[in-house]
Amino acid sequence: MAIDVQILVDERAKLVEDAREAMDTITGDTPEGEAKEIEDRFDAMMVDADKLRDRIERELRLKRAEDSMAERIDFKSEVSGQSREEARQVEINEDQTFDKWLRFGPQGLNIEERQMMYRLAPEQRAQSVGSNTSGGFLVPEGFRNELEEAMLRFGGVRSVATVFPTSTGNALPMPTVNDTDNTGELVSENSTTAKQDVAFGQVTLNAYKFSSKTVLVSWELMQDSAFNLSTYLAGALATRLARVQNAYFTTGTGTGEPNGIVTAATAGNTAAATNAIVASEIVDLIHTVDPDYRVMSRFMFNDSYLKELRKLTISSTDARPLWMPGYVAGEPDTILGYPYVINQQMASGLTTGTIAMVFGDLSKYMIRDVRGVELVRLDELYAANFQTGFVSWDRADGDLLDAGTNPVKTYELN
């Protein structure tokens, strides 16, 4: 039975409202023990609110997956000239063949199934310059969607960046234009317009190879038809790839590796107090970003800071909270009206010199994926332990597209 997600959203909003009212009872005269008890109750209520948020997100994710599958089948039907049912059956056959390859290897496939798997090999070799493709295949679309969905669920930079595929791994220049100081002109009749040069620059995206490392699966599990092998592998491989990529997309140096968004961002402001986050300074951070960028801006920080941000109000005289929940299904929670994304690769703790958060148009961070994830099956290497290894490869790069207008700013602790 379908769940009314809005009912869950309303339930969560009420829980957050009750938690906020509890915190508002704390005054300067509240005994320390009582204040601690209220704060503990607040934290417990927010844990329950987070559980509801996770449930809401699962329901919305399921709906998106169902819609995406329907769109994919419609597209395949239109391109191939097949009926929708025929296109769906082709995808089912591909998924079943891929599952057989995962469980039993090439020797477990008949001739028709081997041809279905090997038809991707020429395209793969063309895309994987210098890569050993022995035993490896570009994964089918259904499995790739599972990988991508799992990587997005991991959060971090990829969930908010602009991600685009390319068919080759050649160095890719991305042009930047800084036109912020130039204006047009008022021209009188029969007058000639003036020339105005535009400052062009570029950011070059490469194709660094990332590995999931080897995931081992016992032969008993692979032979168990009740065990959903493809879903398990998609989750395990995607989480590993997402974790390693997010680390570089966050704090990479840009030398022989991606240029991380924290590394590429421009200094916004620095906390005045020692080892503390102050509400007024977050307001100041927002206004260090150009208004044109603020329309699409959001925060990014480690989860350790969210607990503190939820307790802050605008000021001692303005009791409006910084953090607010979304009140409509699909609407994000916000800090001062701006969405945020949790990135566990960002620093945690109230330590001097720490970049506590970044704010700005995070979609200006560009992630380039070289099209296709290669999955390699390792049969002999772990045979002595009655196991088979699986490893996936992905080539990607990332950098902030900044023409000198500084779309992303940092907040540094004192």
pTM strictly above 0.85: no
> d(Cα 273, Cα 269) in Å, to the nearest integer?
12
45-50: long-range pairs with CB below 8 Å, 24+ = 45/15, 45/16, 45/18, 45/19, 46/16, 46/19, 46/307, 46/310, 48/15, 49/12, 49/15, 49/16, 49/19, 49/325
The one-letter code for the residue type at 85 is E
CB 364 within 8 Å of CB 203: no
* Alpha carbon 283 to its chain's center: 25
Banded model confidence at residue 136, pLDDT cuts 50, 70, 90: low
- Average pLDDT over every residue of 136-164: 81
- Please count the other Cβ atoms lying within 10 Å of the Cβ belonging to residue 57: 13
Q: What's the confidence (pLDDT) of residue 142?
A: 73
Q: What is the pLDDT of residues 349-383, one digit of tens each?
A: 888 889 999 999 999 999 999 877 788 889 889 99
> d(Cα 300, Cα 8) in Å, to the nearest integer?
25
Tokens of 377: 């099956």
Banded model confidence at residue 167, pLDDT cuts 50, 70, 90: confident
> Torsions phi, psi of 194, nearest 5?
-80, 160
- Average pLDDT over every residue of 266-278: 87
pLDDT reading at 182 higher than 90: no
Q: What is the pLDDT of residues 309-327, one digit of tens each?
A: 998 988 878 888 999 998 8
Q: Using a pLDDT cut of 90, give the percent of the chain over it.
A: 37
Angle at 414 between CA 347 and CA 355, to 5 degrees: 25
| Rg, Å, the chain Cα set | 26
Q: What is the pLDDT of residues 213-241, one digit of tens each?
A: 999 999 999 888 888 888 889 889 989 99
Q: What's the confidence (pLDDT) of residue 299?
A: 98
Q: What is the pLDDT of residues 190-207, one digit of tens each?
A: 777 777 666 667 889 999
Q: What SS3 class is residue 44?
A: helix
CATH number of 140-178+199-302+343-414: 3.30.2400.10
